[in-house]
Structure 1
Amino acid sequence: MKATLDSVFKVIMGIDLDGLSGTYEEGARFTAAFDTANGLTSFRFVDFFWKIKRFLNIGSEAELRKNIEVVDEFVYKLIKSKIELLNNLHDDSQPGKKEDILSRFLELKETDPKYLRDVVLNFVIAGKDTTATTLSWFFYLLCKHPDIQEKIAKEIIQATQVSSNSSFEELAAKVNEETLDKMHYLHAALSETLRLYPAVPVVRTCIEVEHEKCY
């Protein structure tokens, strides 16, 4: 979960959240508040009195509000810093200026902080747990099926043209769209993982139920 959140934030905001090592204090506070807020929001499904608690600002809803404030404060601060940074970069060709998603939105003159906060959090919510759970099941299945693991490893080595004893940095440098397009077996293994252990099973079940009703 921490590794996925780090990756998602790098893509969305262009910053290193450093959740795995925990050296970024503000990032650690955001991560804890974000996870707590997610859990408390899910608790509403079984708490019939959550609207009353929210109105009175007591119990779980009071805790949820505090954690949302921490999340908002962190995200708004990053958005402000990103806007200031991009305003100071006058050269469009400067590397790194438009690599993250937030910068792309700012390029389109989207400067409403609340809208940008919603965009950031939507991407985080959509990408964090789904990716983390899928990767967890994927590695679990690889451990259960070493023959599949061996085939995937051979395909990656063949596609990237690296040796089996290459460093992680050397492998990462060779992974791009061209090499990924050659990894058909890896793609199939990930697809099978999603079929066996869907990242959002409740949504899939609801869709299937509605589909059956149509007939």
Structure 2
Amino acid sequence: MVNEQLKNVDDKGKLNLPDDMPDWQKHVVRGEKRHRDAQSALGKAKDQLRTSEATNKVLNDKQLVLPANLGLSQDEITEINGLATSDPEQYRLRMNAAETNARTKAQEELDSGVTKSIEEANTSHITQNRVTVLQNFRDANPELVITDDVLVNDVPPRFMNDLTSGKYANYGEYLEAVKGYLEKGVVIPAGNEGDKHNLNHVSGASTPGKLAGDKQKLTDLSKVSL
């Protein structure tokens, strides 16, 4: 109920709750929105800090340094040096152009290093965060088996596409959506811990799994698109 109502916001982010909704439900929804807004603000602040740290790391390790020969070949250097006496003005123009080109290339390489560092920091953060969120989700839903194979082979790609596009605010919402999908087709027979069961899908396919209580390994998110 809460997740559905949280989608009812105007273009300014203000909730539009039904007039006939009980006050206690409105209180719950508004409280959850405040919590998510606070988490979102905190997440943005951490993102900015992580970006700054990644940028500073590169800038501290690699400064903008021009090569001694400005990237010129030996023939070009000989040609330009010859202009120093024969045509000083042309010499100055050629040297300025060479320095500008060398500076531009060095800046591009530095920017590329910063971008790569930021991407690596973000990827590492996302991976670590998803491992934690997934384990917490498993602990909260012991009756639901979610493994790498389930996420990759049993859940339609549209769920991950929606996460990537931003339809889901976070990985937790994605897992809730996956849970809703799987629960429509999951059949867990009664039996002792360790009994086998099938994940029956909407398409009619099935994948062997294990009952709650089976020890699950942390998912290897390298198999799942980030």
State the TM-score, normalizing by the size of structure 1. Answer: 0.27
Q: Which has the higher contact order (CA 8 A, sep 6+)?
A: 1
* Structure with a larger share of its residues in helix: 1
Q: Please say which structure displays the higher CA radius of gyration.
A: 2
* Structure with a larger share of its residues in strand: 2
